[in-house]
A and B are shown apart, each in its own frame.
Chain A
Amino acid sequence: MNAPERTASFLLDEDNGEMKIVYTADTKIANSGTFRFNREDHTVANLFRMQLLRDNSVRFAGYFHPHPLLNYIDLKIQTNSSTVAPIEVLSAAIEDLSNETDHLISQVTDSIEEWRKQNDAGAISQF
């Protein structure tokens, strides 16, 4: 009866003007702000957090998923200096991860091909 729509965890509510990312600058801490990613979960949030922490210009990066029924995550970023905005480091982190994924795709394709070459005899006997 009161179960949420099953698609609510991944479909953006565009009819009500929901944005994918909403940024709120921190009013008390300098060079700091929170990104709310709507309809996202640990899958990308933890990936972003860990990637941001490898960046030397990031002082703090952490995320918060308040409740399993709330389909957003809050990612908080603080940078070292006013010359680098939180959105810049986030942008760089996503680009790095995107390149890493590209690299992974070619790694997987190549290594499966290589494995098949080495195990050709085994593969034929299966069919």
Chain B
Amino acid sequence: MPNQRFPKIKILHVSPHEIKFILSETDVSMANTVRRIMIAEVPTLAIDLVEFHDNSTVLNDEYIAHRLGLIPIRYQPPDSIKGGDCHGAFLPHRECVCYERCPRCSVEFELDVEFDAAMRHSMALNEETDVLAPLTVTSRDLRSNNESVHPAHFLHNEQDESQDDGIAIVKMGGGQKLKLKAIARMGISKEHAKWCPVAVATYRFWPDIIINEEQVATLTMEQKQELVDICPDRILEIDPVTGMLQAVEGAWDMATYTEDLKFCQDALKKRPEDDDFVRVEPSKDKFIFSVETTGCMDADEVLLSALRVLKNRLNYLAQEVENLKETQ
């Protein structure tokens, strides 16, 4: 087909919870589509149904059910150390053939915690331990019926600093009890934000820094230095050998605020209608993406899953267009 593009991807950084990359040689519609799908259409698991057996805590059932829903649920395929794409591993519950639920479309968690003062007393390390201090029920108390599915927690290298004990659900006092069964299902965040795999998914335009050599040649060394100094992001420098004004290495990553540069060069112009010495313009075909996950899956998997969602959608729509052609 004649109008196909061949975009390029350059990875800047990949870690389990974050990916930064540059998408180029395509346009803003593709960048925005990828961003929107990462936020709203990548399938993940989240607790969707809660059966309460006993709840004598200070929070009511609905409140706790809501808090459980917001806990990121991580699917880690067997023999993998990565939080993976749950598409394919699970079925959306509406598409499953089972009557109510089955392991193909859901994961069950059980939680059974009781504030037992006597037991805490016997386990206390010394006299100073406060056995009546509130007990925090966390996501670590959820027991899954599927080996590959667990609530997301801090990664090991972060844990040393944060002393992560899980995500707090409710605090308990003496004699209180919480017993429930929670059912996680696969869904997308168009239905509810709890299924959103990302905390941040943004792109910004690549800044094109265009230096008009001819115009700059009319400036004195002091004036060039003025342009270098005025920019709070320090995106310009003077080449020590040639004395030419140039963008610093990595200027694309720093250029955010260029208004000062604009005012400064307007003042330096001999006539107001003269061309700018330096222009910083948003690129039309190059985008810097930054994606952070909630922990439910690895960041690179979010990106790949989003692209697979787009691919499937386009195939589906192409088929629908073919069907439409036949009926006409």
Q: Which residues of A contact B (CB under 8 A)?
A: 6-7, 9-11, 20-21, 23, 37, 42-44, 46-47, 49-51, 54-55, 87, 90-105, 107-109, 111-112, 114-116, 119, 126-127
Find out whether the CB atom of A103 lies under 8 angstroms from the CB atom of B29: no
Q: Find B191's partner among A6, A43, A127 (CB 8 Å cutoff).
A: A6
7 smallest A-B Cβ distances: which pairs?
A50-B29, A115-B11, A107-B9, A98-B314, A96-B4, A20-B320, A43-B36
Task: Say whether B310 faces chain A, with CB atoms less than 8 Å apart.
Answer: yes
CB-defined contacts of B16 to chain A, threshold 8 Å: 126
Asked if residues B317 and A100 are in contact (CB atoms below 8 Å), the reply is no
CB distance from B163 to the nearest CB of A (A): 19
User: What are the residues of chain A within 8 A of B117 when measuring CB–CB?
Assistant: none
Which among A47, A55, A108 is the interface contact of B303 at CB below 8 angstroms?
A: A108
Bound form: Cα–Cα A124–B58 in Å:
45
A108:B304 contact, CB within 8 angstroms: yes
In the complex, per-residue mask of B282-315: 1 if CB is within 8 Å of any chain A CB, else 0:
0000000000000000001001100110110111
- From known contacts A46-B32, A104-B9, infer whether A90 and B321 are also in contact, taking CB-CB under 8 Å: yes
Rounded to whole angstroms, the CA-CA distance of A100 and B15 in the bound complex is: 26
A104 touches B11 (CB 8 A): no
Q: Which residues of A contact B313 (CB under 8 A)?
A: 44
B220 within 8 Å of A (CB atoms) = no
Is the interface on chain B under 10, 10 to 19, 20 to 34, or 35 or more residues?
35 or more
- Nearest chain B CB to A105 CB, angstrom units: 5
CB-CB contacts below 8 Å: B150-194 with A: 156-157, 188, 190-192
Known contacts: A10-B188, A50-B27, A50-B29. The answer to whether A42 contacts B157 by CB under 8 A is no
**In the complex, which residue of chain A has the Cβ closest to the Cβ of B8?**
A107
**Shortest distance between the CB of A32 and any CB in chain B (Å):** 15
Query: Does A126 contact B11, Cβ atoms closer than 8 Å?
Result: no
A87 to B304, CA, bound (A): 30
A55→B3 contact, CB < 8 A? yes
Closest B residue to A118 using CB positions: B11
A7 and B94 alpha carbons, distance in the complex (Å): 11
| Interchain CB contact under 8 A, A104 and B3 | no
> How distant is the Cα of A105 from the Cα of B77 in the complex, in angstroms?
21
Q: Which residues of B contact A11 (CB under 8 A)?
A: 94
Also in contact, A46 and B311, with CB within 8 A (given A23-B324, A91-B325): no
- Residues of chain A lying within 8 A (CB to CB) of residue B28: 50
Q: Which residues 1-54 of B have a CB within 8 angstroms of A?
A: 1-11, 14-16, 21, 26-30, 32-33, 36-37, 40-41
**B128 interfacial by beta-carbon distance below 8 Å:** no
The yes or no answer to B318 lying at the interface (CB within 8 A) is yes
B322 within 8 Å of A (CB atoms) = yes
A2 to chain B, nearest CB (A): 18
Given the complex, which residues of A lie within 8 Å of B325, measured CB to CB? 87, 91
